[in-house]
Structure 1
């Protein structure tokens, strides 16, 4: 492989082709970044709508940078910033009436770490030690004459099943799902004092540029609740993070630099982590890349030079391991390798890196992640092409599909959390709360710049909230006047295009309950025409569920746009709060009363709030409503067709999120058909899916009572 005099150029170009094929190209990177930043904006906007103005959500890490592939299976990294606390580095930044925390660095703190001293909120003075005598607080501790905030302050809010991993609360080991890391932090508006020298440093690569540094300086820093490896203040030390500045650096990289980083992560995962206790991290690889770019000429970072660039990075990493010192890029005094590498692992890592460097790229042929090694062999004509691996077009479509599903689930989850926040038994109160939400959302939208991500986030949330508001108003209208007001219809019309079906089904449901069967049938027929069974995929933020199958046409269409295609190819579940009960057919109302007091003990009140509502998959509800509407219109053939479609959906649709509800509705249709054995079978299957918090328990009792009464009447 290395006899070609133009060897390094040839391999670099072929390697670049392979990385392009597996999705590491400008188009897919930008698409990944847009998706993750949109989710970030949406969750922060959700907090603002909920009145949590002090809470900001950031998605950092590989997925937000576009520095990952399908095979790398990167985690989701989320930082939730609570800005109720004013973290300062200088007394001049103190603010009255705020919770002020002063960052302290002394001889006891490690480089890149600090202590947080609690200050008074009425005048710029330290909180006196005697404060804890009067108001005990387990999150504060007096040390060396100062009242300091412990880094365990966020531990009290951690849910069951969460693993503590450094500063992160991690959700791990769920088959079919990536791990999720959640980090709580405070933000400091000023740039870290320890990183001031970085603003002045300049390497031969003239990167970062002066403009980038000026921007980075404005991002300030976070303080993250974790101490250094060998800290003297294990419970009190906080790590200083410049994640926003690092995002700026990552977004400035060209595609060759990004590919180099991804190759380093593949090498780490393939060769080093399995043998060396995972002592090296991808963040170290990123830091190595930064140092390498800063100290090499910018014209080196070209596709035809990818392999030498990679060897340069691996050589720097090898030197860092030898010295047991990997200087943090913005805070170089912070040694990322301090206390992490044992003598045995140090020798092993050095040996592995040496072999890879000396192989002149041949070691890359052993990388199985994303079939990189095999694909490179094909590009180099070392083996024949293979047909059973995904093509570049399929890979790009699969990535786009995952991104669209991620966006759809985020939209649905935000809608669910907003409904959870404003839920109430009283219709008038919920109506007022939803109206206020829509007013706030409109004001936020108008303040945003043209064509920004914030506006896109608002456009995705507004239709779902509009449909909910229309349904709440319609429920009151039906209860009082047995009709639907023009106000309710106006809100319904705004919500029609949230997705393929959910807004239309909310309208059809209200029309059915108001007795307007002709218009209900028209809306349902229109919805069925839009719901292409070969293209549309269900989406829900209620339950995190692994997708067992996705339609090929859906995958193909995902590749042709961003979040806007959701309107045509995604079907959200349909949600009804209890105060919408008059907009819900009797059969679905049972779902609002699924939980006994004993059942509630089995629920996670944060994740299972929807169990007090009626929630159903769109396709299920479409056919159920058709069955009921055609029954009312006495169109028997159409009614039986709808029932057959409902049966087929329950039996064959692999991605139903609320299958137990679908079975409960089907069972009640069977009761209407006097097919009691089939109805009982539906309820029993439903209970096999969800034993508790299931309306089937009530429906079985009701059915058995009906059967007994029928038998008694027959005997009489």
Structure 2
């Protein structure tokens, strides 16, 4: 049943790598900034599937402020190098002092006794100590930097919730599984300070004898090396908790990764019991007294301290009983020790004796009969299948298929359509340093091994960038050094099934006067419907396609067919060769329809050209690139910059418009004027909405029509399109001004009559 809910070992692995791999690429692209650290169920791969009916998990993002602050542990002897590093650190210096009454919490003393300012954020000290409450303002600023001015139909709300800023994404098209409108995503943003020390309170954990050998010395060493963070939250029982900061261990995620699948299933079952049952008994004002975090540390203790139990599939029920019994013991004692700092009690005084008795009684029914778990809300859908004697294996396969489709579409539309991330390293002029940066990114993607999910998508985009950049550098500097790169990457991107990358490569074919090949590429693409989903409709489009896949899966009654589709999809995700199969997917089957939905060749995206690629494109596109403003928008660069959403020096054009343009130019250069004029008629027949790009308003279309008609001696039409372009965007940053002088001289009479 857990596997139907998308909790099979295979699916947990896929979810985890699919979620985390893009952030690995982010760090390759932007190694010099503080990236959010994503934690919680989704980052761990525990993302509920289509048939899950329980409470949805949120996303936890730790927003790091490493450069702005320099926190030093009090009471330890620093080495000469550490002292030098502290003195040279540009950040605001703070001294961490352990709160002896509340182990695991520190106070931050400001030795310089001066208020902190980060441009628009001002934090007053409290008796020379750095308070935690005002620090959350920085989380709101950085959260807004992530979302401000993005062109999607999403509005956000921000609520302070403990140490975090809870961010809710609202999309007008989104409805939950109950058909109600609500937030499409909830993310808790927690601002944290770097604490580059291992707390003395945690030294016992490093040396603690672990009789069953769980967590070997190598893992312990890695956990210690990851050091800590400080979260701006105090202990609920402290009268001055606004002055406390909680120690958070970055290596806890690594400890969680050591769980085998049965231990992971125990965690999932206990978490389901918590969310669907125990939480109902907790007071409304203190729903977090017993949390998923508590369950995680409970599992850690059970694994470390239990020797006479086998964490295996045949012993699963006994393992769950062990964990539930241990939870009862901790509740009875009103003390659940933190796994690394046992002196810290994860329960607070709000865990009253009466409440612990109530919770123990609620847990007892699962110890007496573990099958009571099936009656919980999470299993509503699966329970119905079981009662109808429906084969659960089919729904397990369907769950993986739907998950793959969701992730594939998300990667396609986010990385090829909505984000500036891959282009953020571009300068206005091509340099060897830029090319080397993207070569480093490509090498990093290739080195990711089996943890790379949808590696080919990221690799293809990087190769397209390297191809056009290298060619631009060659044309600008007459340097043959990078021509080898061009040849390798050109063939790869031309053979891809992603139209936007094929058109970037076709542009090089035109520049190299390989007109026949350019015409072939564009002609083949025109046989398809080159429709681009606008950014504002992307979210709804993905949701609708996932629903279509789900319906198709439900209509397939053959386990063999679902198994074949699942294996084929996972092979694609991990960039592996599909294993030979005796099963043949009929072209008109529902399985074939599923494969078509996620086929990259059936989705089209805007074609992007950068100013650094100016020497690799024809003059008509050069004119547009020359019109890109010198000053581009930076997101909150005053205090909390988010480079991945910075405006980049380039343009985006519709693939249909680029196809016709390259065909027109190729036939013109071949002096095949009959075919050129045929393409021109099709260009003139285009409507603005046919090739509209987000935030373009038709300027690109009118400018290209002006250029092509002028080149074909249709001066009056060219003048008309220039005027239409300038009416929409009357600015010197409009390339239409570049055509104006010549057209006015030749068509002055016509323009005066408009």
Is the 2:136–2:165 Cα contact (8 Å) retained in structure 1? no
2:277 aligned with 1:271: yes
- Matched residues in 1 for 2:375 and 2:117: separation? 66
Query: Residues 185-204 of structure 1: matches in 2 within 5 Å?
Result: 185-202=192-209
Shift of 1:44: 1.9
Paired with 2:510 and 2:701, the residues of 1 have a C-alpha distance of: 18
> Do the aligned residues in 2 keep the contact of 1:592 with 1:614 (CA within 8 Å)?
no
Match of 1:397 among 401, 413, 421: 401
Which aligned pairs between 1:141-540 and structure 2 lie closer than 5 A? Answer: 142=125, 151-152=135-136, 154-155=138-139, 156-159=141-144, 161=156, 163=158, 164-175=160-171, 176=174, 177-202=184-209, 206-244=213-251, 246-273=252-279, 276=282, 277=284, 278-279=287-288, 280-297=290-307, 299-338=309-348, 349-350=359-360, 352-368=362-378, 371-375=381-385, 378=386, 382-385=387-390, 391-405=395-409, 416-417=420-421, 419-424=423-428, 427=429, 430-431=430-431, 434-435=434-435, 437-438=437-438, 462-470=462-470, 472-473=472-473, 490-496=484-490, 497=492, 500-501=497-498, 502-512=500-510, 517-524=515-522, 528=525
The aligned counterpart of 1:64 is 43
For 1:461 and 1:668, how far apart are their aligned partners in 2?
28
Per the TM alignment, residue 351 of structure 1 is displaced from its structure 2 partner at its CA by: 5.2
Aligned residues: 642
* Cα distance in 2 for residues equivalent to 1:460 and 1:417: 15
Quote the offset at 1:105 in angstroms: 0.6
Residues 630, 636 of structure 1: 8 Å contact kept: yes
CA contact (8 A) 1:321 1:350 kept: yes
Equivalent position of 1:575 in the other structure: 608
Distance 1:234 1:344, change over 3 A: same
Q: Does structure 2 conserve the Cα–Cα contact (< 8 Å) formed by 1:543 and 1:657?
A: no
**Structure 1 residues 555 and 575, CA, compared in 2 at 3 Å: closer, same or farther?**
farther
Match for residue 42 of structure 1?
Answer: 25
The 8 Å contact of residues 68 and 262 in structure 1, kept in 2 or not, is answered as: no
| Cα pair 2:4 2:382 within 8 Å, conserved | no
Which residue of structure 1 aligns with residue 7 of structure 2? 24
CA distance 1:506–1:460, shift in 2 (3 Å): closer
Further displaced range: 134-143 or 578-587: 134-143
1:103 aligns with 2:96: yes
Three-state SS of the structure 1 residue aligned to 2:108 is strand
Displacement of 1:368:
3.9
Deviation at 1:610, TM superposition (A): 4.6
3-state secondary structure, aligned to 2:170: coil
Change in CA separation of 1:323 and 1:240 when aligned onto 2, cut-off 3 Å: same
- 1:367·1:373 contact (CA, 8 Å) conserved in 2? no
Distance in 1, Cα, partners of 2:278 & 2:538: 36
1:113 equivalent among 91, 105, 111: 105
Asked whether the equivalents of residues 592 and 612 of structure 1 are also in contact (C-alpha less than 8 Å), the reply is no
SS at structure 1 position matched to 2:214? coil
Distance verdict in 2 for CA 1:508–1:538, change over 3 Å: farther
Question: CA 1:189 to 1:256, structure 2 compared with 1: closer, same or farther past 3 Å?
Answer: same
Is contact 1:581–1:589 with CA below 8 Å preserved after alignment?
no
Secondary structure at 2:78 match in 1: helix
How far 1:134 sits from its partner (Å)? 13
1:441-483: CA deviation from partner (whole Å, max 9, x where unpaired): 589799x799887997995674244145246547858xxxxxx
Contact 1:464 1:503 in 2 (8 A): yes
CA distance in 2, matches of 1:65, 1:167: 21
Distance 1:591 1:435, change over 3 A: closer
Alpha-carbon offset, residue 344 of structure 1: 8.6
> Cα distance 1:326–1:523, how it changes in 2: closer, same or farther (>3 A)?
same
Give the CA deviation at 1:512: 4.5
What residue in structure 2 maps to residue 559 of structure 1?
570
Instruction: Verify: 1:92 aligned to 2:97, yes or no.
Output: no
- Equivalent residue of 1:549, what SS? helix
Please state how far the C-alpha of 1:258 moved relative to its aligned partner: 1.0
Written as runs of structure 1 = structure 2, the 5 A alignment for 1:523-672 is 523-524=521-522, 528=525, 547=542, 548-549=544-545, 557-564=568-575, 573-578=606-611, 580=613, 583=617, 586=620, 609-610=646-647, 613-616=650-653, 621-622=658-659, 625-626=662-663, 633-634=672-673, 636=675
Equivalent residues of 1:292, 1:313 under 8 A apart: yes
- Distance between the aligned counterparts of 2:300 and 2:688, measured in 1? 52
2:555 maps to which residue?
none
SS at match of 2:106: strand
Distance 1:349 1:658 in 2: 57
1:92 Cα deviation (Å)?
1.0
Contact preservation (8 Å) 1:42, 1:411: no
Distance 1:232 1:451, change over 3 A: same
What is the alpha-carbon distance in structure 1 between the residues aligned to residue 682 and residue 567 of structure 2?
Answer: 31
Q: What's the RMSD between the two structures over aligned residues?
A: 5.8
1:628-679 Cα deviation digits (max 9, x unpaired)? 75687557599679969x999988xxxx9956769877788999899x9xx9
> Is this contact kept in 1: 2:442–2:463, CA < 8 A?
no
Change in Cα spacing, 1:635 to 1:568, as seen in structure 2 (3 Å) is farther
Deviations 1:79-135 (A, max 9, x none): 354544554432415432125543211346x322212345xxxxxxxx343x56999
Cα offset for 1:139? 6.0
In the superposition, relative to structure 1, how do residues 340 and 374 fare at CA in structure 2: closer, same or farther (>3 Å)?
A: farther
Q: Extract unaligned runs of 5+ from structure 2.
A: 149-155, 175-183, 550-563, 577-597, 636-640
Q: Is the 8 A contact 2:14 2:453 kept in 1?
A: no
The DSSP-based 3-state class of the residue aligned with 1:300 is coil
Name the SS for the 1:34 alignment partner. helix
Measured in 2, the distance between the counterparts of 1:657 and 1:337 equals: 57
Judged with a 3 Å threshold, the aligned counterparts in structure 2 of structure 1 residues 711 and 139 are, in CA distance, closer, same or farther, namely closer
Distance 1:283 1:616 in 2: 47
How far apart, CA to CA, are the structure 1 residues paired with 2:56 and 2:695? 31
Contact residue 617 and residue 657 of structure 1 kept, 8 A: yes
Q: Is the 8 A contact 1:411 1:460 kept in 2?
A: no
Partner of 2:177: none
**Can you list the C-alpha shifts for 1:188-208, whole angstroms capped at 9, x where unaligned?**
444322222233445675534
In structure 1, the residue matched to 2:180 is none
